[in-house]
Chains A and B, each alone.
Chain A
């Protein structure tokens, strides 16, 4: 059997077309987990599959895709359809984890875009844009033909030569451009500040009695359902990881807090729909209405995993401090997970790779003569040298990446059109790279343990302790490396000093590094890869065994660590410089706890804003439910959990993710695993 698979793989690898097709079939199978269905899909699909030649210009490839699209009608109020079998052949890195500026699509007609294009100097940029715009025009015609009614047809027709007018039309136009972004091979596409963007269309329709509040709500509901369709195709590494984040609320430059009817509606419809995506992120601030927090808590209480909270009081000053224009900082959205992003002006690739803090630390333990390290200061100095080398290589790898020319993304960044330079070549205003990071907690805890067991208590030498680690602590389970009262997640001065020292080093190491198009590298303290990066990773001196997951985001592995303790800890972490690329606290709450303490929990969240967390998300689920769902998945088809930056059906998760959630839930409840 293995030999046959090997052979098939060989054939597939030879043909780009086949290997691209296989990815789609794999995605399909991941969704349905049914071999017969998948084979049928593959047999039918292979004839419909289309991938234009890369010999054509990028703009022409996209146009060809649009021409071949088979659009189906799936709503009475909108046209929104993805054809998974028409794809671009992407050989380099593709822009991902971003959100286009939908306001441009709403405010500018296709005609205006084409006029702008005509005035450009002849060349590759102009040609790509020209073909893309022609493709869009043809796509509009195609979609109009299957429009369910005149209103939808008009809403599509207006894209050509009018600004959007009216709430439903605005939603249609967002869907239209969103469809284009997905269809052209971009992954993890956000939706932006929809309450803010849609505000004027909604208010106008309400004022002119064209729409009632309830009709608007129903449109939002349908809009979200349509975005959720095809989530198997949209999902990245894990099912549910689509990056479809809707940003709500937010502090204004004048200090006021922005929110409107739509803010509430998006959260309430999320609660009602109980779908893992699209997800909502609420930008919170001290002066936000308590009612809005209550609405959010009601939604979170269902276990859906969102809204995620992003604290404008902390995030915005760091964005300005880094160098984003003040107005831009106040209008930030986030990339797929948490990483702040300025839409319409950025190439910023916020989620390129993960810094694994434990890698250089472990390398140090494996290579250094440990007997020479006599105290914590020397230990830190040594670590710093290994970390520096690691960061240098890390940056060099990112900077060497080649990106696919991207006329779609460039279209939505006015500055690209002004300077007529593709977004991947420096056409945008902001050109930064972003990294996530993992295992800082494990590293800090390792340092604390070494300090205690080796330098203070002199119970072991560092080499002896390291030998135990190399043997995966076999037969030495009683050395209690996990039992220290002081650990990452405690608002202890020592823990914070080490944490902030390490991140400050990285900040300084990156200070003078500039990527090929003049951007910086930012990083943050949360990352999806706490399982993937840890799978084959050696044991670590925080007591973690080989292959066990790293500590998740900003969280603690202490049993029953109080939430206030974690919030205070996270609030004292220094996020200045370039350390603001997503810093999310992540914790577990039991549904009964939230139910019985609704008011006080709401108080807690509001007060936490003032205390100063960066971002926050939670899983509201009991260990009991998770254990049952693992044993009897058939009884829990709709159980949704928060995974990293997204929510997913528990049943769709690989076993190791299920285990990590169960373990964390048990620890939160003060039970042992």
Chain B
């Protein structure tokens, strides 16, 4: 069995607890205009981006840094939307679990619930994005079904507690009052373990160029904007921090 990846990044410190190896799976169910990994949006191999790897091979790569996972780390599946390939990945997830490797995913949850159910069996740490929660805006900007998102959130919180929400902060979307209110409502309802908010960056610019795409310019989010938003989140009694990447 093979899965399609773009990169396997060892010594990842930003994608979950401890020192981790992050596997970037190719293909996504939505399309964020600020996407930091544009090479992972399409499932098709695009020139230098993407290759298929046997699960055995992938396992070997993941286990290379096993000694460093003692820091509380492990493997993180990111993307793209990693859940999209979780059916194919399941045998490996099972083996990793047997070897006590901590498994984390970074997901936007815009996927059929059946895929999330696979993850629920094996994944230890969930990092879930909150992007746009307004129904029509989510459809228009992300091409995502927000009802499906809410349904998956509900399902997830029924079974798991150690969930981190991650929020990309934009003036155009996140910080719009109607959206912000929905975010804060969601946080208050589910009380996640932690929230990380972060500014957009332009590190992927060269990848956009290679893909012959344009990275849209967003309005500058200031230090004060971030601090104010952080305060509002903390006001609903959620543990939150600004994530520097």
Q: Which residues of A contact B (CB under 8 A)?
A: 491, 562-565, 568, 592, 596-597, 600-601, 603-604, 607-608, 610-611
Closest residue to A571 on the B side, CB-wise? B67
Would B18 and A600 count as touching, CB distance under 8 A? yes
For residue A600, which residues in chain B have a CB less than 8 angstroms away from its CB? Answer: 13, 18-19, 71
For residue B11, which residues in chain A have a CB less than 8 angstroms away from its CB? Answer: 562-565, 604
Would A596 and B244 count as touching, CB distance under 8 A? yes
Report B193 CB to chain A, min CB distance, Å. Answer: 18
Would A564 and B68 count as touching, CB distance under 8 A? yes
For residue B9, which residues in chain A have a CB less than 8 angstroms away from its CB? Answer: 562
Would A568 and B64 count as touching, CB distance under 8 A? yes
B80-103 interface (Cβ within 8 A of A) = none
Report B134 CB to chain A, min CB distance, Å. Answer: 32
Report A496 CB to chain B, min CB distance, Å. Answer: 13
Closest residue to B72 on the A side, CB-wise? A603
Contact of B71 among A491, A568, A596, A607 (CB under 8 A): A607
Closest residue to A612 on the B side, CB-wise? B67
The dominant DSSP class at the A interface is helix
The 8 closest A-B pairs by CB, nearest first: A603-B71, A562-B10, A562-B11, A564-B11, A597-B13, A564-B65, A600-B13, A596-B244
For residue A608, which residues in chain B have a CB less than 8 angstroms away from its CB? Answer: 68
Would A604 and B68 count as touching, CB distance under 8 A? yes
Would B71 and A564 count as touching, CB distance under 8 A? no
Contact of B64 among A491, A596, A597, A601 (CB under 8 A): A491
Encoded as 1 (CB less than 8 Å from any A CB) or 0, chain B from 120 to 151 comes to 00000000000000000000000000000000
For residue A601, which residues in chain B have a CB less than 8 angstroms away from its CB? Answer: 13
Of B18, B19, B70, B72, chain A has the most CB atoms within 10 Å of the CB of B19
Contact of A565 among B10, B13, B70, B72 (CB under 8 A): B10
Complex CA gap A611/B11 in Å reads 14
B47-65 interface (Cβ within 8 A of A) = 64-65
Would B67 and A607 count as touching, CB distance under 8 A? yes
Contact of A564 among B10, B70, B72 (CB under 8 A): B10
Complex CA gap A423/B125 in Å reads 63
For residue B71, which residues in chain A have a CB less than 8 angstroms away from its CB? Answer: 600, 603-604, 607
Closest residue to A600 on the B side, CB-wise? B13
Q: List 12 A-B contacts (CB under 8 A).
A: A491-B64, A562-B9, A564-B64, A565-B11, A600-B18, A600-B71, A603-B71, A607-B67, A607-B68, A607-B70, A607-B71, A611-B68
Closest residue to A672 on the B side, CB-wise? B206
Report B209 CB to chain A, min CB distance, Å. Answer: 14
For residue B68, which residues in chain A have a CB less than 8 angstroms away from its CB? Answer: 564, 604, 607-608, 611
Complex CA gap A576/B25 in Å reads 41
For residue A563, which residues in chain B have a CB less than 8 angstroms away from its CB? Answer: 11
Encoded as 1 (CB less than 8 Å from any A CB) or 0, chain B from 204 to 234 comes to 0000000000000000000000000000000
Contact of A568 among B13, B65, B70, B244 (CB under 8 A): B65
Report B201 CB to chain A, min CB distance, Å. Answer: 13
Would A604 and B19 count as touching, CB distance under 8 A? yes
Contact of A607 among B10, B13, B19 (CB under 8 A): B19
Report B140 CB to chain A, min CB distance, Å. Answer: 34
Of A563, A564, A565, A596, chain B has the most CB atoms within 10 Å of the CB of A564
Complex CA gap A601/B73 in Å reads 12
Report B4 CB to chain A, min CB distance, Å. Answer: 18
For residue A611, which residues in chain B have a CB less than 8 angstroms away from its CB? Answer: 67-68
Complex CA gap A87/B105 in Å reads 67
Complex CA gap A491/B68 in Å reads 14
Report B154 CB to chain A, min CB distance, Å. Answer: 33
Closest residue to B67 on the A side, CB-wise? A611
Report A568 CB to chain B, min CB distance, Å. Answer: 7
Please give 20 more A-B residue pairs, beta carbons under 8 A apart, in addition to A562-B10, A597-B13, A603-B72: A491-B64, A562-B9, A562-B11, A563-B11, A564-B10, A564-B19, A565-B10, A565-B64, A600-B18, A600-B19, A600-B71, A601-B13, A603-B19, A604-B19, A604-B71, A607-B67, A607-B68, A607-B71, A608-B68, A611-B67
Report B203 CB to chain A, min CB distance, Å. Answer: 9
For residue A597, which residues in chain B have a CB less than 8 angstroms away from its CB? Answer: 13
For residue B72, which residues in chain A have a CB less than 8 angstroms away from its CB? Answer: 603
Complex CA gap A450/B113 in Å reads 51
Complex CA gap A601/B71 in Å reads 10
Complex CA gap A564/B67 in Å reads 10
Report A6 CB to chain B, min CB distance, Å. Answer: 53
For residue B18, which residues in chain A have a CB less than 8 angstroms away from its CB? Answer: 600, 603
For residue A603, which residues in chain B have a CB less than 8 angstroms away from its CB? Answer: 18-19, 71-72
Complex CA gap A604/B11 in Å reads 9
Complex CA gap A672/B64 in Å reads 27
Complex CA gap A474/B138 in Å reads 54
Closest residue to A608 on the B side, CB-wise? B68
Encoded as 1 (CB less than 8 Å from any A CB) or 0, chain B from 3 to 30 comes to 0000001110100001100000000000
Report A526 CB to chain B, min CB distance, Å. Answer: 22
Of A592, A597, A607, A611, chain B has the most CB atoms within 10 Å of the CB of A607
For residue A610, which residues in chain B have a CB less than 8 angstroms away from its CB? Answer: 67
